Amino acid sequence: MTERGARVRFPPPLVFLASALTGVAMQLFVAPLGLPIDRKVTIVAGLLIAAAGVACVASARILFLRTGQNPTPWSPTPELIAKGPYRFTRNPMYLGITTLLVGAGIANNVLWISLFAPVALAIVHVIAVVKEEAYLAAKFGDSYVAYAARVRRYV
């Protein structure tokens, strides 16, 4: 019998994409929402925040590649990763994408995108993170429980 990963049925990146598109739709069709400060400031601040999100996702993805793991949540996890960004957060990819969206919303002065980013993370928490944690706890037992006790879920 082939091992299965967490029983996640919907790709979490699509949740984040849907939230960004919803933010753009709100901006265009409902009510524009932006920051009442200098555009140069919002662009620089947004790009810095977005870059932090990209760095978080990229460093986690590199660790997955180096350890021969597949980042899709429905793929089996051969080993726990507790280094790199995983020393600070158990979900650096989801946290990174959320941060990227917050920064993109600020940089583009479309605050709807930034506001929907935590909503997307909450949805991903329910549809993916809870299932991933249950899978990891069942597979790795005490070592995962100890890891979860010392490393925060998000920040």
Dihedral in degrees, nearest 10, Cα atoms 95, 99, 9, 71: -60
CB-neighbour burial class of residue 85 (10 A; exposed 0-12, middle 13-18, buried 19+)? buried
pTM attached to this predicted model: 0.95
**Is the distance from CB of 19 to CB of 119 less than 8 angstroms?**
yes
Rounded to the nearest integer, the mean pLDDT of the chain is: 95
Summarize pLDDT for 23-54 with one digit per residue, the tens.
999 999 999 999 999 999 999 999 999 999 99
User: What is d(CA 73, CA 12) in angstroms, rounded to the nearest whole number?
Assistant: 9
148 CB neighbour count, 10 Å cutoff: 15
**Phi, psi (rounded to 5 degrees) for 74:** -90, 0
Residue whose entry in the numeric block shows the structure tokens 């984040």: 16
Query: Over the stretch 127-147, which tens digit does the pLDDT of each residue have?
Result: 999 999 999 999 999 999 999
Q: Tell me the HSE value of 34 on the side-chain side, using a 13 A CA sphere.
A: 15
CA distance 13 to 52: 18
